[in-house]
Amino acid sequence: MLWKTDPTFYPSPKLAMQAPAEKLAYVAALNANGNHQPDALVVVDVDRESDKYGQIVGRVDMPNVGDELHHFGWNACSSALCPYAPHPHVERRYLIVPGLRSSRIHVIDTKDNPKQPKIVKVIEPKDVAERTGYSRPHTIHCGPDGIYLSALGSPSGDGPGGIFALDHYNFEPLGRWEVDRGPQYFGYDFAWHLGHDIAVTSEWGTPNMVEDGVNPELLLGGKYGHSLHIWDLRKRRHLQALDLGAEQQMVLELRAAHDPTKAYGFVGVVTSLKDLSSSIWLWHRPNGGSNGKFEVKKVIEIPAEPAEPSQLPPLLQGFKAVPPLLTDINLSVDDRFLYASCWGTGEMRQYDVSDPFNPKLIGSVHVGGIVRRASHPAKPGEPLNGGPQMVEISRDGRRVYFTNSLYAAWDKQFYPDGIRGWMVKLDVAQDGAIQLDPKLFVDFGDLRGHQVKLQGGDASSDFYCYP
């Protein structure tokens, strides 16, 4: 505990954008190459002034094999400054790193040596199951009054999925978050509008629906998640379901406006059964929110690209097209730019969303891709596989990091030749123009990088209580 507020906490997005640049990136990395070695948390030097810029400078191997590290997050963030449940003396010190397949949660201390963090606590799957009724923890957010994790389902691998909490100080599981879940069944991502006492959740599928890869029968039957859910944040009660339609399969990453006076956000949809396109939808309160109800509207559509069947994995050959497979989105802290990861086509797209109802595509780069296999400036002429996947943005919006692995079983379906894990970075000019940094290409060797978290915080780690 600190006797003063953690200097990486900021009451408002505007102040957060003035924070010092990150010097380290932490990457959850999967070991999926059949060598019976554990996953790892990898530390990358991202300090431009360092002679080790772009190099791996630390690594923490997990104590068990087969966790499948996926998403992870900080134990504390700027939401600790919120007036109704303040915890100003917690510090952004620990990374909460779950295994999506094992349901084991690792607490990793970065304070003493940020380049060589250490595991200080492991929460076993049976403790998670007994105390919360959930398994397969996925997304982590630090809240004003605890650490919150979403979970894909129950210990049996079925539903429902949902959210549970960990204690801020001893990291013990506290229990299920929902008091009244209404019709909500699938779990995936969650986000908050702290200024409006609203939570939003999204849908993927139960563990039994996703752990062996995409199930074509379930997909074509529209059985994966296709709704958003609106919640009363304080009362923990379901308020509203927003169904995007069964053709919109896998409603995944949520990015709420950082400005706490705003009640809108963006959600990405992986694929449309109509034409394999991906899309981004806007949830919002119409008419100033006078009736309290939310609506959802498609504001971006990303088309599939024609391809010869011989260039495609077996799952896609009958479609004669490569889908974008929008697997992640991220919103800059000033709510100006939205980045969209098209894992299938190997494209990272940049949209100006200053007017959230009318996004404008203003930038694009290609790296990897199922068909394109685009190279990187650091390795010209070398075909790369995987594609832009998990994306993270620096607090000032000038640097965008992304990796290329999705999920082991899904990697195998869409990139059957095996993914070689890498992380790259976009530089963002003052006017918003983007280009790949030719000096940063991280090759993870036998590991596959997934989510990235930045030292001191980033665009997706913090929620703010003041405008």
User: What average pLDDT does the structure give for the chain?
Assistant: 96
**Any domain includes 8:** no
Which has the higher per-residue pLDDT, 59 or 4? Answer: 59
Helix and strand element counts for the chain (H, E): 5, 30
Q: Once rounded to an integer, what is the mean pLDDT over residues 72-86?
A: 90
Q: Once rounded to an integer, what is the mean pLDDT over residues 198-226?
A: 97
Does residue 182 carry a pLDDT above 60?
A: yes
**Any domain includes 2:** no
344-402, pLDDT tens digit by residue? Answer: 999 999 999 999 999 999 999 999 999 999 999 999 999 999 999 999 999 999 999 99
Q: Residue 304's pLDDT is what?
A: 98
Amino acid at 14: K
Q: Residue 35's pLDDT is what?
A: 83
Which segments of 49-189 does DSSP mark as H helices, in order?
125-132
**Any domain includes 161:** yes
Q: Residue 380's pLDDT is what?
A: 95
| Strands of 248-256's sheet in order across | 248-256, 264-272, 278-284, 295-302
Q: Residue 5's pLDDT is what?
A: 85
The whole-angstrom separation of Cα 461 and Cα 50 is: 25
Q: Which residues pair with 9 in a beta bridge?
A: none
- Tokens read off for 365: 């780069």
- How crowded is residue 439: how many other Cβ atoms within 10 Å of its Cβ? 12
**Any domain includes 123:** yes
Which has the higher per-residue pLDDT, 33 or 271? Answer: 271
Domain count along the chain: 1
Q: Residue 236's pLDDT is what?
A: 97
Domain extent for 25: 13-454
Does residue 2 carry a pLDDT above 70?
A: no
Pairing type for strands 198-201 and 227-232 reads antiparallel
Does residue 189 carry a pLDDT above 90?
A: yes
- Burial class, 4, CB count within 10 angstroms (exposed 0-12 / middle 13-18 / buried 19+): exposed
Q: Once rounded to an integer, what is the mean pLDDT over residues 57-80?
A: 97
**Any domain includes 463:** no
Does residue 87 carry a pLDDT above 70?
A: yes
Q: Residue 434's pLDDT is what?
A: 98
258-280, pLDDT tens digit by residue? Answer: 999 999 999 999 999 999 999 99
Q: Once rounded to an integer, what is the mean pLDDT over residues 211-223?
A: 97
**Any domain includes 61:** yes
- Tokens read off for 18: 């003035």
Does residue 96 carry a pLDDT above 90?
A: yes
CATH number at 345 reads 2.130.10.10
Q: Residue 291's pLDDT is what?
A: 78
Q: Which pTM was predicted?
A: 0.97
Q: Once rounded to an integer, what is the mean pLDDT over residues 139-146?
A: 92
- Burial class, 6, CB count within 10 angstroms (exposed 0-12 / middle 13-18 / buried 19+): buried
Does residue 126 carry a pLDDT above 90?
A: yes
Which has the higher per-residue pLDDT, 315 or 291? Answer: 315
CA-wise closest residue to 163 among 197, 125, 194, 199: 199
Q: Residue 3's pLDDT is what?
A: 65
389-423, pLDDT tens digit by residue? Answer: 999 999 999 999 999 999 999 999 999 999 999 99
**Any domain includes 208:** yes
The whole-angstrom separation of Cα 337 and Cα 324 is: 19
The whole-angstrom separation of Cα 95 and Cα 84 is: 25
**Any domain includes 465:** no
Cβ within 8 Å of residue 420, ≥6 positions away: 384, 385, 386, 443
